[in-house]
Structure 1
Amino acid sequence: MTFCIFLVLPAQAELQNSSREIEPQTEVTTEHKTTIRGKKIPYTATVGTQPVWNADGEAVATLHYTYYQRSDAQDTTTRPLMISFNGGPGSASVWMHIAYTGPKLLNIDDEGYPLQPYGVKSNPYSILDVADIVYVNPVNTGYSRVLKNKDGDAMSKEEQQAMFFGVNADIQYLAEWINTFVTRNNRWRSPKYLIGESYGTTRVSGLALALQNQQWMYLNGVILVSPTGLGIKRDGPVKAANRLPYFAATAWHHNVLAPQFQAMELESFLAEVEEFTLKELLPALARGGFIPEVEKKNIISRMSAYSGLSEQAIAQNNLDVSPQFFWKELLRTEGKTVGRLDSRYLGMDRQDAGTQPDYNAELTSWLHAFTPAINYYLREQLNFKTDIKYNMFGNVHPWDHNDNHSGEDLRQAMAANPYLKVMIQSGYYDGATNYFDAKYTLWQLDPSGRMKGRMSFKGYRSGHMMYLRRQDLETSNQDIRDFILSSLPAEGQPARYAR
């Protein structure tokens, strides 16, 4: 790697200030080289802050971002731009930045467990060969902060919540910010993509329509990684039934099922479980306490065989087994719990009794590696120096979840933009936003079914951040690469529907 500083603005001067504040506009650019899929790729990395303005044109916040550009790409009009968000809400855009699509990976083993010394290494599967990428940190995440006004007064908590901390407020100010970023970096003619993970999928689904209708900015693709519900309801029997395929995947991974199921390939096994879930379990749950006893016993037996839970435990929960109970119960006799966001990870509780784990085994492991890695990387390799704390998780609560119509927003954006395609990526062992819920969301996104040819689903043998497993890192990045290339229209192909 080579690097040279092109421009250093107030981020460096900040160290000489007595107040611990971030400057609203900063920029540090360095040059680098990496190897992706066997080819040498030169690129620049720009770390900076860019303001958020209110209706009066006053800077009320500043967002921290990292922008990667392939430096030997001559024509930005055909060079895709990927705009990346993580979720929470309140999470920094660190996870996909240094573990998935970017040119650097944090130091972990091939299954995603932390290694020392902490730091980063090259990502041989990054999508930087086919797209430039900007990682955006919403307000109060990363180095992004609310600013004081011209009189030196801080915005009240109520004002902050109204402007930043809610489903629709988040989408509105980020759409304005993206407009400014695209304008400043001369990317209006570039094909554009949004990728969001977890709550970030709510964010980018809403942004697809907000950018289109309010900023007149049209997208080529939206990628939903471990998606939330997007405002699409799945309560009652649907909510309960949809958990079983995830339970089955986790039980298969931990080798607690009968030999005939363990001998099956995971995807074939899950296809069987999904069929049972839709055709037998869901109707049974819909009938509640009025299901015939013989049928109920058969359903319980099948659920037990697929999930690794005892028939007694399932019966005691009236067939509606919560994820929390499953994480505690599956390996209870071994004195272990399984992780929420990635059920491959194991934890140990104070006592085996109880209905839920003491802690999230996977998240503690991830923070172990991500926190030192991002602080080291931004400061020592990308030369962005500040005394501001990097917020892995920022204070954004209470968050206004009301009036979430982000799924319908995405459907409407697709309907009005024939170029726009959608891909969902999910890990089979994700218990927070389980993969079968993601499939259900995809099925319900366009009830007409007329746009299903522009939607796709990809599953992986890992969890919420499926890219932490090296084999899935390679596969999932290639899936994004293929998605980008397939959603670029042929020369002269108009955005229109044919009769």
Structure 2
Amino acid sequence: MNRKLLLCGAALGLWMSATATLPAVPALAAEHAAQDAPQDDDGKSSLAPFDFTPRQKISDGIVTVRGQKIAYQAVAGTLIVHPRDWDDAAPEKKGKPGDQPVAAMFYVAYFKKNVAPAARPITFIYNGGPGSATVWLHMGAFGPRRIVTADDTHTPAAPYKLVDNDDSLLDVTDLVFIDAPGTGFGRIGGKDKEKSFYGTDPDAWAFTDFIAQFLGRYHRYNAPKYLFGESYGTTRSAIVANMLKQDKEIDLNGVMLLSQILDYDNNIDRAEANPSVDQPYILALPSYAATAWYHRKLPHQPTDLKAFLHEVEHFALTDYAGALQDGTAITDQRLNEIAARLHDYTGLPVDYIKRANLRVNGGEFEKTLMADEDTDTGRLDSRFSGASIDPLSQHPFYDPMDSAMGSAYLSAFNDYARDVLHYGGDSPTGAYEEYKASAHSIGKWSFTHEQPGVPHSNRGLPNVLPDLAMAMKENPMLKVQLNQGYFDLGTPYFEGVYEMRHLPIPRKLAGNIEIHQYMSGHMVYAHAPALKELHDNAADFIRRTDNLPH
């Protein structure tokens, strides 16, 4: 899985910066020198070791959202988390300090000024990856400043433009953007550090621990609380919502999901590796149809996309599903009929569809739809397209959307962090601080997950539907909002709809779920009109569920 997203800007007014020291935790600095640090002539590292103690920088700003002028305090810093079996009363049992797994997780929080803590909702926001920083949601969606990028084409090189973010969620909630362990200005250290943090369950625990610490440190336990995760962040949110309830006795007001994947068996990227499971092809078909519609590759171009997609959804769940279930028993006549319908809905050649046995995975579709132009479509946002590196390959070599936006986001945030948040240029150890957009942990990631109430249920691919269902059953007031882009081939929108319909919850709790779709891709906010809709839907969701007087 991937992650992704944009920037936010705002007229911040006069900024004032101050440095504050957080209460100390056991210092592990000396034992955790960077393994790949540059060496001096004498063989010693020229960089000081990373300082595993909490840090924070405080600054002030002003942003106007929907005509409302909001004065806020920004806090950029780190909190220290440990694996789930960590005993803070007896850390010496874990061996020497340098052996103890530890993560300094970087965050940026925005607090509206002059509001009592219990009278202000707080939302914890993160991207996915797994192993991605949250620069994308921070700078592209909900932070006070936003980066401007081209809508469906490559953004020109620097200089990039930061603008006031009229779509920041600061009008309704305080915001905490959390970078995953090993990303941002945070780092991991100690023995078995990757095993301790690079996995579905260890990662979820790190975020759970972080959130509980944050609520205590900033006196927000009695505030309305929300999670907002994107992509793999939705997988994380399902587990964290349940962990907060089970391990910390923390009830959430709401969980907002963007570009959902909760059951990895529904993943269309490598569906052929799981023969006899045809569901990914069924659930991806409407997104194929939306992509072909956008690029005008359909033999008969509909004018009403939503009506067209409803038709495709019905076909996918009925005739197409039945044909796939027939397997090799399908008749020649039926095979030809279904292939012709798939051609009408996807624009792919009939012969290609038949040679694929009616089953085209995500990479094959991205490669084949515009093959006549030697062009591949994007995966995370199929509105984007790019030149094929190898026109004869089965899959694209890169994602045109990633290539189109990545430089803008990272360049803008690196300057914003240092010039506005005043973080990243003066480490207490004297070391240069690199902002890492990714931990590059996907190849090391353990996707095994133990479902709640089912010991020894570890699976190679996670299915966290039971986790979210458990959180909803134990907190029947918990509300869930799902947001999706039509042009997302990484987490197809109909997959999310299907998963929400198949949560193992009582039917009466199904009314706690609402679903919104947008004319955009995985990073819904990359399309400016969709960002406005996303803001309005999320803000309305919070106002309806925060239990505060309005």
TM-score where L is the length of structure 1:
0.91
Question: Which residue matches 1:4?
Answer: 16
Aligned to 1:21: 50
Report the RMSD for the aligned CA atoms in angstroms. Answer: 2.0
CA distance in 1, matches of 2:338, 2:422: 59
1:338 equivalent to 2:367? Answer no
The SS at the match of 1:95 is helix
After TM superposition, the structure 1 stretch with the greater mean CA deviation from structure 2, 176-185 or 346-355, is: 346-355
Helix, strand or coil: the match of 1:96? helix
Please give the alpha-carbon distance, in whole angstroms, between the structure 1 residues aligned to 2:419 and 2:467: 41
Could you tell me which of 471, 475, 485 is aligned with 1:417?
A: 475
Task: Report the secondary structure of 2:198's partner residue.
Answer: coil
Residue among 6, 17, 32 paired with 2:61: 32
Equivalence for 1:151: none
Q: Determine if contact 1:461/1:472 at 8 Å carries over to the other structure.
A: yes
- Once the two structures are superposed, the pairs formed by residues 375-386 of structure 1 within 5 Å of their partners are 375-386=414-425
1:381 shift after superposition: 1.2
Among 392, 404, 408, the residue aligned to 2:437: 392
Tell me what 2:171 maps to.
129
Amino acid at match of 1:187: R
How far residue 421 of structure 1 moved from its aligned partner, in angstroms, is: 0.6
Aligned residues of 1:337 and 1:346 also touching (Cα < 8 A)? yes
Distance in 1, Cα, partners of 2:362 & 2:47: 48
CA distance in 1, matches of 2:406, 2:247: 37
1:348 aligned onto 2:387? yes
Q: What does 1:152-301 correspond to in 2, within 5 Å?
A: 155-156=190-191, 159-230=192-263, 236-259=277-300, 262-301=301-340
Q: What displacement does 1:327 show?
A: 0.7
How many residues were matched structurally?
Answer: 474
Contact 2:389 2:396 (C-alpha < 8 Å) held by counterparts: no
Within the candidate set 133, 140, 152, 1:99 is matched to 140
- Equivalent position of 2:108 in the other structure: 66
Contact 2:143 2:168 in 1 (8 A): yes
Partners of 1:333 and 1:18 in 2: how far apart?
52
> Is it true that 1:319 corresponds to 2:358 in the alignment?
yes
Distance of 2:352 and 2:149 partners within structure 1: 37
* One-letter amino acid of the counterpart of residue 196, structure 2: M
Give how far 1:352 is off.
2.2
Deviation at 1:293, TM superposition (A): 2.0
Shift of the alpha carbon at 1:41?
Answer: 1.2
- Hey, what's the Cα distance between the residues in 2 that align with 1:433 and 1:294? 32
- The answer to whether the Cα contact below 8 Å between 1:114 and 1:365 also exists between their aligned partners in 2 is yes
- State the percentage of identical aligned residues: 31
Secondary structure of the corresponding residue to residue 400 of structure 1: coil
**Deviation of 1:242 (Å):** 1.4
Amino acid aligned to 1:38: G
Q: How does 1:105-144 map to 2 (within 5 A)?
A: 105-111=146-152, 113-115=154-156, 116-144=158-186
Per-residue CA deviations over 1:39-78 (Å, capped at 9, x if unaligned) read 2111111101111146243582211100001114x23213
Within the candidate set 65, 73, 84, 1:44 is matched to: 73
Partner residue of 2:428?
none
Cα drift, residue 264 of structure 1: 2.3
4+ runs of 1 displaced by more than 4 Å?
110-113, 231-235
Q: Deviations over 1:421-452 (max 9, x none)?
A: 11111111111111111111111113542211
The residue identity in structure 2 corresponding to 1:145 is R
Alignment of 1:457-472 (within 5 A): 457-472=515-530
Counterpart residue number, 1:494 = none
Contact 1:21 1:388 in 2 (8 A): no
Aligned to 1:324, the other structure's residue is in SS state: helix
Question: How many angstroms apart in 2 are the aligned matches of 1:18 and 1:203?
Answer: 34
Q: Unpaired segments of 5 or more residues in structure 2?
A: 1-12, 23-28, 30-45, 92-99, 268-273, 426-431, 450-461
- For the residue of structure 1 that corresponds to 2:77, the secondary structure is strand
Shift of 1:454: 0.5
Instruction: Give unpaired runs (5+ residues) of structure 1.
Output: 148-154, 492-499
Matches within 5 A, 1:402-441: 402-403=448-449, 404-441=462-499
Q: Indicate the SS of the match to 2:176.
A: strand
